[in-house]
Structure 1
């Protein structure tokens, strides 16, 4: 590079994207006989490292470890109303299988484990041990190849040289002091901005500060990586005013305290009124829209799942209740209403109207069964069973933020693009820091793309820093 560097490559973030990028870079350098200094900067301490990835089950939208699910590219484009970057998605699909095989080689096993979706449209391959298994295995392999992991360090500004290439990184360490690192390339893999009240208000809007991150890792995603790239002319992409949402129990402090049994029950608002067709489709294809509706449309941003003892007859219902808090239970609907703060007359009327609308048919929790409730607004398309077997039960539900959609535009090599669609020399982004999603989230793609583009960007960054002319890179 013609100058003394503190690090040839710095990766910001120790999640799936960051650890994949660092390990990919270390392996590429070793294969090319290059002795490069590579570091990961992580805001959290060791015990809390890994961002969202550490806490997630890491569902993968894969038919098997080598093949993406059917209609992968078209589904992702359709869900985004064709706003998403097709070449990015096509590259993701082409590299998904080889990347998961690469992760498997590092010691991560994959299997079709039970999920919280009792009914689903697309397959979900999972790493055994969840996202933490990915983080632990990839980071251990990276460390063995000489990658430094520096904890409790936060980057806050990128410096460019006279040619507009990344050359410096300002880093604030624990205690408040700031360091100026001389670097050759920078890979931004620091998640989104769900942990920033300021950015959530700026892009999501009023009361966005009340939307809790789905897990502890999200609180560390404060958006600096996105902001500092935008500040040097990077292009933003993805739907900045939207986020991937999940319905969770507000009483629980555990990660991903999801309540996914509601398709077999009814949902009411704090006035005791139904507001959605709970059985409109399989749970994996509808829960995000329901969670968003709870936040955007309902008074107090809260809903309640109402059911009875028949819920406990549903096979594997426990898998769909990720919360660690028990159901709220009462012998009468009036008593249940009092416990959850809903008008008793309204809740009783809602349940009675629903029961009267339930049509005959055979209930089947494993597939769309066509067992409907009709003549009421909204109707219920599947899994309509009467609520009449006391004790009655309720679970409160609020909207949580799994990740934000807005991020940085990149090409298929992971290079961050300027507002004029030119790569910014030496700057890369992977995972949620890179924007992609619009509209409806295509489940099982976020960790997958983090791994794929982390691996791609790490290898490309090595080629960039070892080519003195930087021509064609």
Structure 2
């Protein structure tokens, strides 16, 4: 098998969950006077480290650094139809503020920065510099405390001792060779499985290989951590056949090339037909459902946003267009349809019937304005303004995968639970490796829980490896 190396704690994954786990473990060990060897393993090279975390703007569902948004727990439970773990979410709410203060103390600044959600209905606190600022800062602090960060190393198996506790890891290194690590505890923080075509097909279903990851970081999330844990009896949690979806421009190679201006426009399928109430609610509360509809219900899994020059009158519209590709423009709807390769007569008829259905009223881009389009199917509940001021514009939209929902069940200390709901000794999981979400994603909670439970896992792992009666912890 190759050489053997010993570590007290090994963290797998260099995103927000992994770096917070490694740093919290190093800090707690130092605080308690324990000389522990801690390693953080990352499958990518240094320049690509961090998986999804590297690319995310890192929205936080917080009123401020100390307070979660109103109805935080109840909203998260409601979004999951009460399938999510309430105790886990209550722990998240109780520890969110103190965890962000901890991150801030390390040197990460937070602010209410502009977002792509022009009509956001929830507070959006962001770290200055996004997720990359968090992982760079926490990784640097962890290294300063002696954490060894090892790149281009992929864990492919967990080893148990005779008592059923995790005692080893098999790690494949660059070039294909493998080595064995003797370990005291392992923290799985390697993301979901959106970068694994086989697992996507198994859990998400037909044509899942056509769902692009929202950023290249997702391609590093192959799901081995989830599979390894399940192989030794871990219970799954979260909705395995679902994922957090986002509408993006398929022409763009840019990370998170989101198209979030569609509430002010109409959406049509490749046959030129509308298929959704684009103004049903604020963009942050509906974009995921729209993206899912595009993938699951539409021919060729694609839609087109159709608008006109009035879109450019909306303040800060550029923030809601994260794509780096320009709009497709044409002087007439017929020409636009030709460029989009959709039936011109159908598109013209759709726009004309929509224009006639638009009701009078004051257009307000920044909130639900009640300006409706009625008498058509589907109706439009807000922001119904005629499309009649050429040149006409269009953006293609497909569904992207931000992260997968299925993962490993853990308790509130991050300990991985068996099918019988007992902690598997020495094994922890945090971030998207730990399953939580069902149904609709409650925005601004993923990075937050990665930080909170990464930190809790790291601290608990130190207590575990330093306790001579490990199995009693």
Q: Does the TM-score normalized on the shorter chain lie above 0.5?
A: yes
1:286 pairs with 2:297:
no
Contact kept in structure 1, 2:240 and 2:406, CA below 8 Å:
yes
Moved over 6 A (4+): none
Distance 1:316 1:76 in 2: 29
**1:59 Cα shift?**
0.1
1:385 pairs with 2:377:
no
Root-mean-square deviation (CA, aligned residues, Å) is 0.7
Q: How does 1:155-304 map to 2 (within 5 A)?
A: 155-304=155-304
Distance 2:432 2:371 in 1: 39
Secondary structure of 1:62 counterpart? coil
Secondary structure of 1:146 counterpart? coil
Match in the other structure for 2:60: 60
Match in the other structure for 2:416: 416
**1:5 Cα shift?**
6.4
Superimposed CA distance per residue, residues 40-90 of structure 1 (whole angstroms, 9 cap, x where no aligned partner): 100000000000001000000001000000000000000000000000000
Contact kept in structure 1, 2:241 and 2:406, CA below 8 Å:
yes
Distance 1:64 1:180 in 2: 44
Match in the other structure for 1:314: 314
Q: How does 1:354-373 map to 2 (within 5 A)?
A: 354-373=354-373
Secondary structure of 2:154 counterpart? strand
Superimposed CA distance per residue, residues 442-462 of structure 1 (whole angstroms, 9 cap, x where no aligned partner): 000000000000000000000
Secondary structure of 1:156 counterpart? strand
Contact kept in structure 2, 1:275 and 1:378, CA below 8 Å:
yes
Contact kept in structure 2, 1:194 and 1:404, CA below 8 Å:
yes
Distance 2:265 2:398 in 1: 16
Alignment: residue pair count = 470
Distance 2:428 2:471 in 1: 17
Q: How does 1:118-133 map to 2 (within 5 A)?
A: 118-133=118-133
**1:471 Cα shift?**
4.9
1:440 pairs with 2:434:
no
Match in the other structure for 1:327: 327
1:70 pairs with 2:70:
yes
Match in the other structure for 2:406: 406
Distance 2:397 2:148 in 1: 41
Contact kept in structure 2, 1:5 and 1:184, CA below 8 Å:
no
Superimposed CA distance per residue, residues 304-326 of structure 1 (whole angstroms, 9 cap, x where no aligned partner): 00000000000110000000000
Distance 1:13 1:392 in 2: 46
Contact kept in structure 2, 1:431 and 1:454, CA below 8 Å:
yes
Distance 2:176 2:210 in 1: 28
Secondary structure of 1:64 counterpart? coil
**1:470 Cα shift?**
1.5
Contact kept in structure 2, 1:426 and 1:464, CA below 8 Å:
yes
Contact kept in structure 2, 1:304 and 1:397, CA below 8 Å:
yes
Secondary structure of 2:74 counterpart? helix
Distance 2:468 2:328 in 1: 65
Distance 1:146 1:210 in 2: 42
Distance 1:186 1:28 in 2: 16
**1:214 Cα shift?**
0.2
Secondary structure of 2:247 counterpart? strand
Distance 2:417 2:250 in 1: 39
Contact kept in structure 1, 2:5 and 2:180, CA below 8 Å:
no
Superimposed CA distance per residue, residues 198-231 of structure 1 (whole angstroms, 9 cap, x where no aligned partner): 0000000000000000001000000000000000
What is the TM-score of this pair, normalised by structure 2?
Answer: 0.99
Contact kept in structure 1, 2:247 and 2:400, CA below 8 Å:
yes
Distance 2:395 2:5 in 1: 55
Match in the other structure for 1:17: 17
Secondary structure of 1:439 counterpart? coil
**1:291 Cα shift?**
0.2
**1:472 Cα shift?**
3.9
Distance 2:214 2:250 in 1: 10
Match in the other structure for 2:340: 340
Distance 1:370 1:385 in 2: 11
Distance 1:194 1:354 in 2: 37
Secondary structure of 1:424 counterpart? strand
Superimposed CA distance per residue, residues 270-320 of structure 1 (whole angstroms, 9 cap, x where no aligned partner): 000000000000000000000000000000000000000000000110000
Superimposed CA distance per residue, residues 111-134 of structure 1 (whole angstroms, 9 cap, x where no aligned partner): 000000000111010000000000
1:42 pairs with 2:39:
no
Secondary structure of 1:68 counterpart? coil
Distance 1:73 1:5 in 2: 43
Contact kept in structure 2, 1:197 and 1:209, CA below 8 Å:
yes
